[in-house]
A = this chain, B = another copy of it.
C-alpha cells in the first residue's frame, strides 16, 4: 500500500535561490481498479524546494509501494502530488505521469501546485 510516511527529506542546500529539481522514474507500475490488470508508466516530479528536498531512495520506495494498488491514472497523479506537497511543502511542484497504451490509447496526466504567497 502506498504511504507518504515512506518519504524522507534532507535540508535544501540552497534555500536563498529558486532552482528546479526533477526526478524521473520510467519504471512505475500500479493496477487498474476495474480490470485488476497492471498499468505501466513513467512518473516525472519537478519542484522548487523550500526548506527540504526529497531523498532519492525513499522516493523510489514510495513509488514502489503503488505496485499492487488499484488506482486510476487521474487519482494516482493527484495523490503523488498531494503526498509530496504534504511532506516537502515546496515552493512549486509539478507531477506528470505518462501511461503505456491500453486499448490503443496512451495517456498523460499533468498536475501542479504553487505555494500561496504569504
Contact = CB atoms under 8 A, between A and B. Distances in A.
The A contact surface, by secondary structure, is strand
Contacts of A38: 27, 29, 64, 67
Contact of A19 (B10, B57, B77): B77
Identical chains bound together, number: 10
A111 interface: yes
Nearest to A46: B108
A6 interface: no
A109 B109 CA distance: 22
Interface of A: 10, 12-14, 17, 19-27, 29, 37-38, 40, 46, 49, 53, 56-57, 59-60, 64, 67-68, 72-75, 77-78, 100-113
